A and B are shown apart, each in its own frame.
Chain A
């Protein structure tokens, strides 16, 4: 069985378990929505400040909801020594990394599909035409978040206070992704295009490619450590 088949098998298992438990997605969705309401009541987002504030607030919501998802990423494997069962099997451990990253990415995208339009509605923003471009940039940022998050979630898997440790390790390393995504989103909201933010876009793509490759290659050592 090749690498992609193994990845698909593991991803299908994770999606099936999530469909049955509905723990991660529901928690992430409600937390993301809750944060938007908190932002709505806390900030008076004037239209002239929208380009400056909206990307940061949106990414704050994505970061926190995403971290919730990451904290539960290996929960299915923790019970009954199922992680050990996976490590015993002849699968490529890089496939496990890719499947977990894809699973977390799917959950985050589902949350973002709801959160971005809701943000526009709550803050009464009128520029609906920029949402597709904004969503594409968000996807790039989400890939970076999921790749690094999955890697660090595995690193902190055996740590005692992993729910606390994970964001402490993850957030500083996420700075390039957060900055890149926010600058790109800001450029889209100001000018409707990415012309000013091309270096940031390149940084985002580079980050995604590098950490995805590194993750697949080193996951074997990470998961055993």
Chain B
């Protein structure tokens, strides 16, 4: 999967949430999408997911323009919002069967059970999602994304309420996606954690792209770019 974003902009009424955002991400890139609250991170993720359409600009996936009506391209895009996007009154297994069918990625029951086993939810597969704890719902979201195998994976605050083993599970999944050639974009405020995973960092501020660089060691340019978003008196070293 190759993702190119050209002069992307989104306005809500008279308010510009995103302005002239451009970047190019080859296959296997894991991007840390950072920035303060209201910087436009979620808007950018929703545009890339095709949930909302841009006011201006273009998103290109593997050489073809990604428009709202591009249903085939949407099947290659996954959005992981932990604990969300699940029907509370369907069972764990029914949710997975429903969404894999909707994505035209029919999976055998054994594959679904396998994904549930990997996230530690096999024993709860017959229970309603409403009965799961928040952490378990996050795990179920990971299982759903595993089964959908997206070429472009978008994550909005993926750590949520995950416990230690849940975080390990998520990070090993992201590493696996990277090795498969997927593009992964993570929006998170857990900066230290996402920087250990990412191959590139992108900083948004007031809807504009203020930083876009591949990861280096040491990373002084990132330290100076991100420093202004840290709490008063706190410092950052990459």
Q: Could you list which residues of chain A lie within 8 angstroms of chain B, going by C-beta atoms? A: 1, 6, 9-10, 13, 16-17, 20-21, 76, 79-82, 84-92, 220, 224
> What are 26 sample pairs from A and B whose C-beta atoms fall under 8 A apart?
A1-B101, A1-B104, A6-B102, A9-B98, A9-B101, A13-B87, A13-B90, A17-B87, A76-B87, A79-B88, A80-B83, A80-B88, A82-B85, A82-B86, A85-B99, A87-B51, A88-B49, A88-B74, A89-B75, A89-B99, A90-B72, A90-B75, A91-B71, A224-B51, A224-B53, A224-B68
Given known pairs A90-B72, A220-B69, A224-B68, the reply for A13 and B85 (CB within 8 Å) is no
In angstroms, Cα B99 to Cα A57, docked, is 43
CB < 8 Å neighbour of A80 from B49, B68, B73, B87? B87
Q: A92, B85: Cβ atoms under 8 Å?
A: no
Q: A21, B74: Cβ atoms under 8 Å?
A: no
CB proximity of A182 to chain B, nearest CB, Å: 38
Given known pairs A9-B101, A88-B49, A91-B71, the reply for A81 and B81 (CB within 8 Å) is yes
* B77 interface residue (CB < 8 Å to A): yes
* B79 interface residue (CB < 8 Å to A): yes
Residues of B within 8 A of A76 (CB): 87, 89
Given known pairs A13-B98, A220-B69, the reply for A88 and B79 (CB within 8 Å) is yes
Residues of A within 8 A of B88 (CB): 79-80
CB proximity of B61 to chain A, nearest CB, Å: 13
Q: A16, B90: Cβ atoms under 8 Å?
A: yes
Interface size on B, residues (CB 8 A): 30
Residues of A within 8 A of B84 (CB): 80-81, 84-85
In angstroms, Cα B101 to Cα A85, docked, is 13
Tell me the total A-B contact number using a CB cutoff of 8 A. Answer: 71
In angstroms, Cα B52 to Cα A25, docked, is 33
For the complex with contacts A1-B104, A9-B102, A16-B94, 8 further pairs of A-B residues with Cβ separation under 8 Å are A17-B87, A82-B87, A85-B85, A88-B77, A90-B75, A90-B102, A224-B51, A224-B53
In angstroms, Cα B85 to Cα A86, docked, is 8
* B103 interface residue (CB < 8 Å to A): yes
Q: A88, B51: Cβ atoms under 8 Å?
A: yes
Q: B86, A89: Cβ atoms under 8 Å?
A: no
CB proximity of B143 to chain A, nearest CB, Å: 14
Q: Mask for B41-62, Cβ within 8 A of A = 1, else 0? A: 0000000011111000000000
Residues of B within 8 A of A87 (CB): 50-51
Residues of A within 8 A of B98 (CB): 9, 13
Q: B50, A20: Cβ atoms under 8 Å?
A: no
Q: Which 5 A-B pairs give the minimum distances between C-beta atoms?
A: A85-B85, A90-B75, A90-B74, A90-B71, A81-B84
Residues of A within 8 A of B87 (CB): 13, 17, 76, 80, 82
Given known pairs A89-B99, A89-B103, the reply for A84 and B90 (CB within 8 Å) is no
In angstroms, Cα B104 to Cα A21, docked, is 27
Residues of B within 8 A of A13 (CB): 87, 90, 98
In angstroms, Cα B74 to Cα A84, docked, is 13
CB proximity of B130 to chain A, nearest CB, Å: 9
CB proximity of A11 to chain B, nearest CB, Å: 12
In angstroms, Cα B102 to Cα A10, docked, is 8
In angstroms, Cα B51 to Cα A224, docked, is 8
In angstroms, Cα B153 to Cα A88, docked, is 12
Q: B51, A84: Cβ atoms under 8 Å?
A: yes
Q: B102, A86: Cβ atoms under 8 Å?
A: yes
Q: B102, A224: Cβ atoms under 8 Å?
A: no
In angstroms, Cα B72 to Cα A76, docked, is 26
In angstroms, Cα B137 to Cα A82, docked, is 14
